[in-house]
Structure 1
Amino acid sequence: MNKSLLSAALPSIARATALAQERATLVEADDPFLWLEDIEGRGQLAWARVENEKTLGVLQSDPRYRRFYEQALTILQSKDRIAYVSLGRRGLENFWKDEDHVRGVWRRTTLERYRSQDPQWETILDVDALANAENKNWVFQGGSGLPPEERLCLISLSDGGKDAASIREFDSETKSFVADGFYLPEGKQDVSWVDGDTLLVARDWGGGSLTQAGYPFVVKELKRTQPLGEAREIFRGEPTDVQALPLVLRDSEGRIHATGAIRVISSVECEYVVFRPDGPIKLNLPKKAAIVGLASGRLLVNLDEEWEPDDVRFETGSLISYDLAEWKQDPLRAKASLVFQPRSRQALSGLSSTKNFLILTILENVQSKVFLYKYDKKAWSSTPIPLPQHTNVNVSAASRQADQAMFTVSNYLRPTSIWYFDAETQNLEELKTTPTAFDASNHVVDHCEATSCDGTSIPYFLVRAKNARFDGAIPTLLYGYGGFQVSLLPSYLGPVGRLWLEQGNAYVVANLRGGGEFGPQWHQAAQGAMKQTTWDDFIAVAEDLIRRKVTSPRRLGVIGGSQGGLLVGAAISQRPELFNAAIMQVPLFDMLRYTSLGAGASWIAEYGDPAIAEQRSWIEAYSPYQKLVPGKTYPAPLILTSTKDDRVHPSHGRKAAAKLAALGQPYFYYENTDGGHAATANLIEYARRLALEYTYASKRLCSE
């Protein structure tokens, strides 16, 4: 970096350093459990092993555990379950795990073979064999092919399921790693192909090139055979950002129309820079906007805030587009036009493009509808795709070389099916259906609403037995998330149906503010200073279930993961009398320390920054770790974490368990060695986690 650039960067570096130091000092003076934040320390791992032994000793000795484990594993490893595929130039590709391929196998087939009941597959990469050959704990995290041929791939391999992964170049035709090919050592990194000899890479380049959240803010251009130390810097964000990402805009033929970088300022704000012959240009898009692709010769942008360029007003949640040729000529003066604008209770749920079409999935009152869009001369036209109603629909695959797509269709009681669609011929056919995992004939789904404390209606789905008696006696699990504009949509309950519903129990999914079920506004209503809104909504649903006499506090449990684990922690620390069970999966918990743990600093836009006094005050008002106090009785939670979780630090769960122990409160704690933020690295570990969860729930809620 030259002296002038260094001088310009000094204020932001100093500010980032000061904030980092202040966050590092956000320690409660009387907190005796800070030592558990050392993830791999010998004493800390010994503590986790002792806790695991206690939990496994109780739950695995329950006669229900072995039955639940075997039932879950049978469902998860079923040979007849759907093999989800991508539609690429080289065929239909799938990543598959079963009892013979615990780590998984990457494989390929044709559409004609896939249509058959028992398709023949061509193995591309056997990850079990690779891990054995290299004596590594590999977890496959996907690959990115070089367009248009897609023969050369950059594949990500993680040690035990961490977000940090190593990236290696692989030839999918010869099924071997490329000799002297691209190799990027382990790290949290993002990579995009430019051409066969060039990559754009955001990673740890050393010398303070990571943000406080642990992600890169420097993007470089890397040439084939070039050492990492010689890569050319092309973009530098700020150390106070969340991260920077490479940007390569390609059309369906693989042609590049722009390269650049994305400066991710926060989890909800970003800036785009495109590289041009006369120098880089920062696009004049609003910060809450995202470039989402190219389709029909148009550049597509999704808006998470209202925007009024050139006296044309676009509402929050709208999808807009630019003529690609006009935009390339002058990105700052190109005129945008509307593609889709949500009505009340609507939200854009998904977007995919084929060679000539755009496919939009629209949520309307948490129900899916799918439309085919085409741009013809001056306007977009849309046609509904006649998929089954009252289901959740997702585009599971879309071809950029043809006008073909595949959809997954399901609801809580309907086994998931795969539908193939040819947009050119309008042919729509059901190809695959997952095996029935449980008897749903005796169950129904009610779409209900609770009223939160500010009067807002909060929808939720209640899955129950048809003949259920509303006498407050139904063992009920309430699931929620409520963050980061993530929507909880109906999907087949599978193992949950077998392990829980078939016993006559009920399962509830709440669509809380903070999620995305009704668009950006639904999310923004529960951010920062308003985050308590999410917890209030969850509690309102719990109270509504009790008011309707679906269940009672003796029979009601809560379950959630990550942000949902924080949700559960907030619920049981604020209203412990409402619940008799709580399952916290890889939870956030100590919110006064979260910015100094794992990737926590990347979520400041969601929760606020405890280094800032005003924001600390609203976080402190709900942080579950600080809200566990003497004199209250908590519902003996089951806390599940992973040593390899480099997203939500495992010390959140560790410290929750340790504090409950210090308070003399019962709890269960299990820390899986592998698994990353998923807490499981393979189907065997997933079956074990399910068996632990539902054995625990049965002990707490079903036993007399």
Structure 2
Amino acid sequence: MWRYPKPRKQDDVSEAHSGTTVEDPYRWMEEPDSDETKQFVTEQNAISQPFLSGNPVREKFHKRMMEVYNYPKYGAPFKRGNRYYYYYNTGLQNQSVLYTQKSLSDDATIFLDPNTFSEDGTVSLGTSAFSEDGELFAYAISQSGSDWQTIKVRDVKTGEDLNDELKMVKFSGIAWTHDGKGFFYQRYPDEASGCDGSETTKLENHMMCYHYLHTAQSTDLICCKFPEHPDWLLSGDVTDDGCYLIVKVYRGAEPKNHLYYYNLSSGGVKSSIPLTTIVDEFEASYDVMSNDGPIFTILTNFQASRYCLKTVDLLQPSKVNWKTLVAERDKDVLEEAIAVNNNQLILIYLRDVKNVMELHQLETGQLLDTFPIGTGTIAQLSGKRRQSEVFYLFQSFLTAGEVYHCDLTASPLSSTLFRSIEVKGFISSDYTTEQVFYTTNDGASIPMFIVHRKGISFDGTNPCLLYGYGGFNISIMPRFSTSRLLFMQHFNGIFALANIRGGGEYGEAWHQAGMFEKKQNVFDDFHCAAEYLIAKQYTSDNRLAIQGGSNGGLLVCTCANQRPELYQCVISQVGVLDMLRFHKFTIGSAWTTEFGNPDKEEDFKYIYKYSPLHNIPTSGRYPAILLLTGDHDDRVVPLHSLKFIATIQDQLGQQATNPLMIRVDVKSGHGAGKPTSKLIDEMADIYSFIASTLNITWQD
């Protein structure tokens, strides 16, 4: 029996939704800076921290993570101006360092070291971009994992920063004009001044600005905004020839956008840029890949669920005049396209959740060759229209990283292993990966990867960690994970990744099959994955842990509510758990394009049925649960996890034999930029919790 805190319950806080009255007794937790909320967090950590650190597995796991994670980590090199750059981490550095070299055979030197930004590594590097000539470098920094960023500019020759400093920047790119005088970026209005990521205020009026170097931010030009649509988000880019500004407008997180352009070569940069419309309907995704004068090549899912390439003549922009350059395929999803070597395209496809990379002719779309890659993921790809070489980083569940270099002028096409990333003591041949396809309730075939040591017995006794996401058109790909490796190595564990509907693994139709009123498909797919693993005796219900983050946190908490008997342990990281109020905080309104709007009667009916906060059982067995959140998570704000843990402890705490806990990290956000030290601490806590609740012991 656990003694949980007894936070104050407000009996007079409720809302009426379509004739249904919904109580909200812990709404005061939506004030993150109140003394009462801070006290509640302190009381929760006072329970979870001793439990997590009390298991001897925690110290052993942490020590092994420090040993095994201490391997060199290289990113794919890229060329800007007349120099090469790449990111490199010696092993346990909190942040990866940006290195530079004149040629691939020269010694590299440090160009920018984010570890110097703060002593504890909680200030990280965000978005960045070099000017066209490679002489200037604009980069953004983020503090404590917040989405808020501050943009600075560095002189490449001197290595010194200019005085330029841009704040109130969020969800922004950096797009230099080719004259090197400045760049476009996105920010929020001055009212956002002072925000640090701990606030919950709803964000509105995203706008695109242009910053001239050596000027104050207060003089920046406001080039584009849509005040009549305060929830819209903007992004901008400059074409490879420097002639056009491309503006995309989103109304949420859906893969649909408006597409506009502005002729920089004739109009110059100015306030309130007169945009010309290419597409002004939210019906599909449109992304400009390259251009030859007014002929644009666009990656789109318009009338092509699995994406294709179209060419658009700006002189005749109507869709009836669009031409198909590379047609949609029957099964493969076209994920990425970049123009290289002047007249060629590299296309990355997703085929049954494994990448395929091809070289095509830009003018005709003709397939020229296929890159020889293994079964896994192209984690990074670098190349430019006017460059004749590319680099790419390959990863898989059992491959930490292989960096390849390809000279596109060579015939026949060949890729050379440039760097191999080795993990000390890890022998990949001791492990195996299989992909299975299981059938869900409505007959859909769902792919799932299963990874484990060779030679283990399938007798139902193995601990298993099942991971899922299922949303926002995001594909969850095979990637290397040190913590999962240790789970397999020292717990004799099995890792399973279910590529459930709602993601992008099979295109937009797969995504749409798991959103809005069809969201239950996502949970059913995950339940069926668990049932498959148990039926095939990979594991059993008392040895099964499930894990997910963000939308995946919503997934695992909903599954725990719906089928508590099926799972023994639940790890929910930065989860969206209050589905009736998610749209009222920071950027949450953008997710109504995925979940629906709970303020609308037709949407409320299906959202309320699965909202984790509002469907916690009031009695019976419940799996052990560990929620994780960060005090500077300004994407999925901590109130989701705080209200959920308070409710579940109140309703089940007196009878639950399994621990119901939360871990609230300080100076931590949604996940991006998390320093290595915090990452290792978090993994040690997670696997300590899994070991405790699955009743498994450490094996040397």
Question: Which consecutive residues of structure 1, in runs of 5 or more, have no partner in the other structure?
Answer: 1-21, 115-119, 307-314
**One-letter identity of the residue aligned with 1:264:** Y
Deviates more, 1:454-463 or 1:295-304: 295-304
Match status 1:290 vs 2:286: yes
Residue equivalent to 1:459: 447
Residue equivalent to 1:371: 358
Tell me which of 300, 305, 309 is aligned to 2:302.
305
Q: Is the partner of 1:416 in helix, strand or coil?
A: strand
Distance 1:455 1:676 in 2: 39
**One-letter identity of the residue aligned with 1:305:** F
Report if aligned partners of 1:318, 1:338 keep a CA contact under 8 Å in 2.
no
Tell me which of 160, 178, 187 is aligned to 1:203.
187
Q: Is the partner of 2:438 in helix, strand or coil?
A: strand
Report if aligned partners of 1:302, 1:317 keep a CA contact under 8 Å in 2.
no
Residue equivalent to 1:6: none
Residue equivalent to 1:515: 503
Residue equivalent to 2:328: 342
- CA gap 1:112/1:404 in 2 versus in 1, 3 angstroms: same
Instruction: Give 1:156 shift.
Output: 0.6
Distance 2:672 2:347 in 1: 32
Mapping of residues 408-557 of structure 1, within 5 Å: 408-425=393-410, 426-436=413-423, 438-557=426-545
Mapping of residues 15-26 of structure 1, within 5 Å: none
Residue equivalent to 1:169: 153
Tell me which of 49, 55, 58 is aligned to 1:56.
49
Match status 1:626 vs 2:621: no
Instruction: Give 1:137 shift.
Output: 5.5
Match status 1:274 vs 2:261: yes
Q: Is the partner of 1:619 in helix, strand or coil?
A: helix
Match status 1:320 vs 2:309: yes
Report if aligned partners of 1:218, 1:236 keep a CA contact under 8 Å in 2.
yes
**One-letter identity of the residue aligned with 2:399:** R
Residue equivalent to 1:402: 387
Deviations 1:349-387 (A, max 9, x none): 2222323221111122222211001134xx221133342
Distance 2:482 2:456 in 1: 20
**One-letter identity of the residue aligned with 2:451:** V
TM-score normalised according to structure 2 size: 0.87
Distance 1:107 1:558 in 2: 38
Distance 2:51 2:19 in 1: 36
Q: Is the partner of 1:150 in helix, strand or coil?
A: coil
Tell me which of 237, 245, 265 is aligned to 1:248.
237
Match status 1:34 vs 2:27: yes
**One-letter identity of the residue aligned with 1:317:** R
Instruction: Give 1:88 shift.
Output: 2.5
Deviates more, 1:292-301 or 1:646-655: 292-301
Tell me which of 339, 342, 361 is aligned to 1:353.
339
Deviations 1:531-565 (A, max 9, x none): 11111111111111112222111011100111111
Residue equivalent to 1:214: 203
Residue equivalent to 1:562: 550
Residue equivalent to 2:3: none
Mapping of residues 28-107 of structure 1, within 5 Å: 30-78=23-71, 80-97=72-89, 101-107=93-99
- CA gap 1:497/1:221 in 2 versus in 1, 3 angstroms: closer
Report if aligned partners of 1:470, 1:551 keep a CA contact under 8 Å in 2.
yes
**One-letter identity of the residue aligned with 1:472:** G
Distance 1:625 1:337 in 2: 48
Report if aligned partners of 1:94, 1:107 keep a CA contact under 8 Å in 2.
yes
Distance 2:86 2:422 in 1: 18
Deviations 1:26-65 (A, max 9, x none): 9976322222222233332332233223222112121111
Distance 1:294 1:23 in 2: 50
Distance 1:494 1:23 in 2: 47
Q: Is the partner of 2:682 in helix, strand or coil?
A: helix
**One-letter identity of the residue aligned with 2:391:** M
Instruction: Give 1:587 shift.
Output: 0.8
Report if aligned partners of 1:557, 1:581 keep a CA contact under 8 Å in 2.
yes
Report if aligned partners of 2:306, 2:332 keep a CA contact under 8 Å in 1.
no
**One-letter identity of the residue aligned with 1:106:** L
Residue equivalent to 1:11: none
- CA gap 1:245/1:24 in 2 versus in 1, 3 angstroms: farther
Instruction: Give 1:338 shift.
Output: 1.9
- CA gap 1:275/1:63 in 2 versus in 1, 3 angstroms: same
Q: Is the partner of 2:365 in helix, strand or coil?
A: strand
- CA gap 1:579/1:244 in 2 versus in 1, 3 angstroms: closer
Q: Is the partner of 1:657 in helix, strand or coil?
A: helix
**One-letter identity of the residue aligned with 2:176:** W
Report if aligned partners of 1:368, 1:393 keep a CA contact under 8 Å in 2.
yes
Deviations 1:197-249 (A, max 9, x none): 34334322247999995154333444445554444443222554643324333
Distance 1:679 1:234 in 2: 29
Distance 2:57 2:92 in 1: 26
Deviations 1:153-191 (A, max 9, x none): 221111212111111222122111113x35335555444
Match status 1:393 vs 2:381: no
Report if aligned partners of 2:353, 2:505 keep a CA contact under 8 Å in 1.
yes
Tell me which of 585, 604, 609 is aligned to 2:597.
609
Q: Is the partner of 2:448 in helix, strand or coil?
A: strand
- CA gap 1:204/1:417 in 2 versus in 1, 3 angstroms: same
Distance 1:563 1:693 in 2: 18
Aligned residue pairs total 657
Residue equivalent to 1:156: 140
- CA gap 1:416/1:98 in 2 versus in 1, 3 angstroms: closer
**One-letter identity of the residue aligned with 2:299:** N
- CA gap 1:458/1:104 in 2 versus in 1, 3 angstroms: closer
Q: Is the partner of 1:131 in helix, strand or coil?
A: coil
Report if aligned partners of 1:241, 1:265 keep a CA contact under 8 Å in 2.
no
Report if aligned partners of 1:486, 1:517 keep a CA contact under 8 Å in 2.
yes
Match status 1:178 vs 2:162: yes
Q: Is the partner of 1:51 in helix, strand or coil?
A: helix
Deviates more, 1:598-607 or 1:102-111: 102-111
Question: Which consecutive residues of structure 2, in runs of 5 or more, have no partner in the other structure?
Answer: 1-14, 268-273
Distance 1:650 1:695 in 2: 22
**One-letter identity of the residue aligned with 1:289:** S
Distance 1:553 1:70 in 2: 29
Distance 2:18 2:681 in 1: 38
Distance 1:86 1:649 in 2: 35
